[in-house]
Structure 1
Amino acid sequence: MPRRVLIGYFTRELMSRIALCVLILVSLMEILALLEQTTTILERHLGVRGILLYATLRLPLLLGTALPLSTQVGALLLLTAMTTSSEIAILRAAGLATPRLLALMLPATLVTGLFSAVLADQVTPRAELALAEWWNATTPDNQTPDGHAFWFRSGDTLVSVGSIGHAGRQAQRIDLYQRDAAGMLVSATHADSADYTDGQWHLRRARVVRLSPTHADTVPPVDMPWQTTLSPRGLVRLSIDTPPLSLGTMLGSLYGRIPASQPPSAYRTAFLERLLLPLFFVVMLSLALPVVYIPPRTGTRSMIPVYCLAAGLLFVLFQGVLRALGNAGTLPALLAIAPGIGIFALGVGTVLIRMEDR
């Protein structure tokens, strides 16, 4: 049988099962999200249109979350069905070894991984930012808008914002701490509020304290411009606890061109993880391969698919723990991302060799 025919068959079958798994997982997560937020949406008088808009804007994030696990589950469904129906035995009799079987399934897996990377880099950040802007803009005037305070750095200035409203065009309780090149505090500005009009931020009732080695000068409350390149959309992005970011935004935050709310280690870890995301999908695929060794008489009673799924979940958990250590700066970015991929790839390779020798 020509190789391209086998690649086409495995690609079609694997992609269809991945799509089915994604549909089921995303539907479940959408339902759970809507159960949590539907009451709030209706209280804001946004109606069915608001519910549909919320579900649509959440879809890219949920899709990216579901794709890795769906890839493994789809591969498990396909390979288990082929094994129990003796298709794998026929292919083995024709000379198809397990590494070649993996190679036949790689195109579909890599396409899925690349799609997930593009989705996470270009679509999800825009959708999540649009959702945060819409959610903030529709907050009733009698409620505290986005009431949690947050910090970020813009050049040599540390900024604290108490809350934002009107899709980031208004902010309350602004504190600016200006530092010099050596990191020493030179001035502190405390403003009751700030608003964005005519393309410029204006601080209201700002009180400035200028510091020197010997004394501090205080300026009475006054309205003044806020010299910053920060846009309302950028302020909304900074208010999100863990915003999905594109590679360009990560690089801009690392090199100080864009205000940043996370430590540099978090951006370096997320940047490397995004680049290596297709390899993550390859490992998830390889963790499904042991099901081809299900004994013919065992059939669907075999526990191997369960073990494979457990290994996939363990891989996701292990990567999450290492990523958290990388975000905190405890581990370098490379050690926070690459070891998990390498360890589980070598581990499943060892398992396959041992099962092949039986």
Structure 2
Amino acid sequence: MILQLHVLRTVATRILGAALILMSILQILDLLDVTNDILDRGLGVAGVAFYAALRLPRLFEQVAPIAVLAGGLFAFSQLARESAVVAMRASGVSGYRIVGMAVPAAVAVMLLDVLCGQVLAPRADPALADWWKNTTPVAERKVPAPRTFRAGADLVMAAGASADGRDINGVTVFRRDAKGILIEKIEATRAHYKGGGAWTLDQPRTTRFAGDLAQTSTATTTTWPTALRPQDVQGLFGDDAVPTAASARRALENGGSDRPESFYATHLQAAFAGPFVSLVMLLLSAPVALANFRSGQGAVLLTAGLAAGLFFLVANGMLTALGESGSLSPFLAVWAAPAIFGALAVRTFLALEG
């Protein structure tokens, strides 16, 4: 138990240190761009701190895999240099068990990555966007461009939306039949979500098309039944919002979407595969633990592990982009790189372990 805690503590502290350093660097670079704007708006140091706090979930998502790679390389190389690995193997502890002792650290990063990507960041991003919008000086505010998206079989154009996604302004709904022919157009000043999967349209002006005829009618309010939800609206009107597993699934089930189906299918798979990237990074760093630093093998494996980890991130990103565009199956686009690089890491470790 003491030996396991020693290995786990060594790996975990190195991963934590790498994550803090990387997050600090990204945070500083981010604040260099916005600090002057925040101070000019009279928000002071509290505003800078508020901005930095809301950015933390996304920053952790970005640095988590690299932190595990860097932390694993530093920790295993230290254990190898101190001959701790030699001593453990001489006492009957296999290399597999040594790596297994470090796995809980990677699992903790995986769980925290899921928490940030699926829970914290989707809540922090709209709050940050709304805060930034409301604190922008009136003279500098720009009228947002209308958004066009699909809500089931309906095509929708909207001028804007509230921060909580429960109100949409300047709504135009184009309804089509099964053949894709336009049969109805509804223009409303506002759409309000009233729960139960239905929206209320204020002051709707409905135009129905039947062949060459068009009939127009007005009303005070009308109900718009759709699978669209406030969370979908937040994502559609957010700036470069990354779909969560829940929002991607809703988009595939006729919820709000403004991108191809392949984009949401890929991100649905990525929501499950993403956390395993940290585990692959730990496996890529593991061969360093069995290296002989006296013969120069350690430096070679250390460099190879770092290069393999970076190449893995590049390959994973390229395959994901192919999946989003529909050029590759979403399943292959998301799971191919982790499976291939994980297998290569295990094969290398097995060869060194003998």
Aligned residue among 133, 136, 145 for 2:133: 136
Q: 1:197 to 1:272 in 2, by over 3 A?
A: closer
Which amino acid in structure 2 is aligned with residue 236 of structure 1?
Answer: Q
Letter in 2 for 1:308: G
Q: 1:335 aligns with which of 329, 332, 335?
A: 332
Deviations 1:229-253 (A, max 9, x none): 7677653331124324443333223
Aligned counterpart, 2:256: 259
Contact 2:126 2:163 in 1 (8 A): no
Q: Indicate the residue corresponding to 1:187 in structure 2.
A: 184
Partner of 1:153: 150
> Does the 8 Å contact 2:167/2:193 carry over to 1?
no
Corresponding residue to 1:250 among 231, 238, 248:
248
Letter paired with 2:58: L
Match of 1:62 in 2: 59
Q: Give the drift of 1:170.
A: 7.3
Provide the rounded CA distance (Å) in 2 between the counterparts of 1:249 and 1:166.
16
CA distance, structure 2, for counterparts of residue 284 and residue 326 of structure 1: 22
| Contact residue 113 and residue 278 of structure 1 kept, 8 A | yes
Aligned partner of 1:98 in structure 2 is: 95
Give the conservation status (yes or no) of the 8 Å contact 1:133–1:168: no
The aligned residue for residue 304 of structure 1 is 301
Match of 1:26 among 23, 26, 29: 23
AA at the equivalent of 2:64: L
Shift of 1:169: 7.7
| Shift in CA distance, 47/226, structure 1 to aligned 2, threshold 3 Å | farther
Q: CA deviation at 1:186?
A: 1.7
Count the aligned residue pairs: 350
1:210 aligned to 2:190?
A: no
Aligned to 1:284: 281
**Distance (whole Å) between structure 1 residues aligned to residue 241 and residue 217 of structure 2:** 36
Tell me the CA shift for residue 45 of structure 1: 3.2
Pair 1:40-2:37 in alignment = yes
TM-aligned CA deviation for residue 30 of structure 1: 0.9
C-alpha displacement at 1:69, in angstroms? 1.0
Partner-residue secondary structure (3-state), 1:45: coil
How well do the aligned residues superpose, as a CA RMSD in angstroms? 3.2
CA shift, 1:196, in A, is 5.7
**Separation in 2 of the partners of 1:95 and 1:149?**
67
Identity of aligned residues (%): 30
Structure 1: segments with no counterpart, 5+ residues: none
Q: Say whether the 8 Å CA contact 2:323–2:333 is kept in structure 1.
A: yes
Pair 227,26 (structure 1): closer, same or farther in 2 beyond 3 Å: same
Mind listing any 5+ residue stretches in structure 2 that lack a counterpart?
none
CA contact (8 A) 2:68 2:281 kept: yes
Partner of 2:123: 126
Distance 2:224 2:335 in 1: 41
Distance verdict in 2 for CA 1:159–1:39, change over 3 Å = farther
2:105 is aligned, of 88, 105, 108, to: 108
Deviation string for 1:305-333 (max 9, x for gaps)? 12211111111111111111222222222
Question: What is aligned with 2:235?
Answer: 237
Contact between 1:161 and 1:171, CA under 8 Å: does it hold in 2? yes
Quote the offset at 1:207 in angstroms. 6.5
